Chain A
Amino acid sequence: AAGVIQSPRHLIKEKRETATLKCYPIPRHDTVYWYQQGPGQDPQFLISFYEKMQSDKGSIPDRFSAQQFSDYHSELNMSSLELGDSALYFCASSLQRREQFFGPGTRLTVL
Chain B
Amino acid sequence: AQKVTQAQTEISVVEKEDVTLDCVYETRDTTYYLFWYKQPPSGELVFLIRRNSFDEQNEISGRYSWNFQKSTSSFNFTITASQVVDSAVYFCALSERTGGSNYKLTFGKGTLLTVNP
Which A residues are within 8 Å of any B CB, using their own CB? 30-31, 33, 35, 41-45, 48, 50, 55-56, 58, 88, 90, 92, 94, 96-105, 107
Q: B105 — which chain A residues lie within 8 A by C-beta?
A: 33, 35, 43, 45, 92, 100
User: 1/0 contact trace for B36-50 toward A, CB 8 Å?
Assistant: 010000011111001
Q: Which residues of A contact B109 (CB under 8 A)?
A: 41-42
Measured in the bound complex, the distance between the Cα atoms of B103 and A83 in whole Å is: 30
**B110 to chain A: closest residue by CB:** A42
A31-B102 contact, Cβ under 8 Å, with A42-B91, A43-B107, A98-B50: yes
Task: Report how many residues on chain B are interfacial, defined by Cβ distance under 8 Å.
Answer: 25
Residues of B at under 8 Å CB distance from A?
A: 33, 35, 37, 43-47, 50, 91, 95, 97-110
Tell me which residues across on chain B come within 8 A of A31, comparing CB atoms.
101-102
- Beta-carbon nearest neighbor of A57 in chain B: B98
Contact between A55 and B98 (Cβ–Cβ < 8 Å)?
A: yes
Bound-complex Cα distance A7 to B107 (A): 24
Question: Once the chains are docked, how many angstroms separate the CA of A44 from the CA of B47?
Answer: 16
User: In the assembled complex, how far is the CB of residue A36 from the closest CB belonging to chain B, in whole angstroms?
Assistant: 11
